[in-house]
């Protein structure tokens, strides 16, 4: 039986209101259902824990591949820079072959910041950030304070597995 089916049966039994004779039968059924439900829950958490080791292995592989990607990317950049430097030093601006053409393009104008503190404010991008102080708001709401735009709520119940 599936976990959700057990939950449905469990809820249906809670709704039944019968005589004292039925109360014992219902209690026995609840006990059997709880045992089966608990077994399913334990099995489910075992699967979740097994998935955790898969996630850890995947994270390790992702890190390894990202490191490898960075090495290859740095090598590409290094080789391109080597070619650019040598083309510039030798005065070669174009190399053609049947598959592609390599062109040494002239540099474009860029801004070199030498001392940021001396830049006039008209040329500075000033950023500000506003966000609710949720920890302070929670404390105030718990003491009964009314704060416009917020209300005290409850998060979803969480599973704790020790």
- pLDDT of 83-113, one tens digit each? 999 999 999 999 999 999 999 998 888 999 9
Residue 14 lies inside a defined structural domain of this protein: yes
The per-residue pLDDT for 92 is 93
Question: Are 142 and 152 contacting, i.e. CB atoms less than 8 angstroms apart?
Answer: yes
Where are any strands of DSSP class E within the chain?
Answer: 94-96, 101-103
Question: Are 150 and 137 contacting, i.e. CB atoms less than 8 angstroms apart?
Answer: yes
Q: Residue 102's domain spans which residues? A: 3-122
The count of structural domains within the chain is 1
Rounded Cα distance between 121 and 112, Å, is 17
Three-state DSSP at 44 gives helix
Residue 67 lies inside a defined structural domain of this protein: yes
Residue 116 lies inside a defined structural domain of this protein: yes
Give the closest residue to 44 by CA, choosing from 79, 4, 10: 4
Residue 150 lies inside a defined structural domain of this protein: no
Question: Are 124 and 142 contacting, i.e. CB atoms less than 8 angstroms apart?
Answer: no
Residue 142 lies inside a defined structural domain of this protein: no
Task: Please state, in angstroms and as integers, the Cα–Cα distance from residue 45 to each residue in 40, 42, 142, 160, 162, following that order.
Answer: 9, 5, 34, 11, 11
Rounded Cα distance between 124 and 83, Å, is 37
Residue 140 lies inside a defined structural domain of this protein: no
The per-residue pLDDT for 81 is 94
Residue 43 lies inside a defined structural domain of this protein: yes
Enumerate the β-bridge partners of residue 102: 95
Residue 49 lies inside a defined structural domain of this protein: yes
Range name among 26-35, 120-129, 139-148 with the lowest pLDDT average: 26-35
What's the maximum distance between 2 C-alpha atoms anywhere in the chain? Answer: 102
Residue 119 pLDDT level (bands cut at 50, 70, 90): very high
């Amino acid at each position: 039986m599936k976990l959700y089916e057990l939950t449905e049966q469990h809820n249906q039994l809670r709704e039944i209101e019968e005589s004292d004779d039925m109360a014992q039968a219902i209690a026995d059924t609840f006990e059997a259902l709880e045992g089966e439900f608990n077994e399913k829950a334990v099995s489910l958490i075992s699967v979740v824990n097994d998935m955790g080791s898969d996630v850890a292995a995947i994270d390790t592989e992702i890190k390894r591949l990202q490191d490898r990607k960075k090495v290859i990317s740095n090598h590409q950049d290094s080789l391109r820079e080597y070619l650019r430097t040598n083309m510039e030093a030798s005065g070669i601006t174009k190399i053609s072959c049947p598959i592609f053409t390599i062109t040494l393009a002239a540099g474009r104008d860029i801004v070199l910041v030498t001392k940021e503190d001396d830049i006039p404010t008209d040329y500075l991008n000033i950023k500000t950030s506003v966000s609710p102080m949720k920890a302070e708001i929670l404390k105030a709401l718990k003491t009964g304070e009314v704060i416009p735009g917020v209300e005290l709520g409850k998060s979803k119940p969480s599973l704790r597995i020790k």
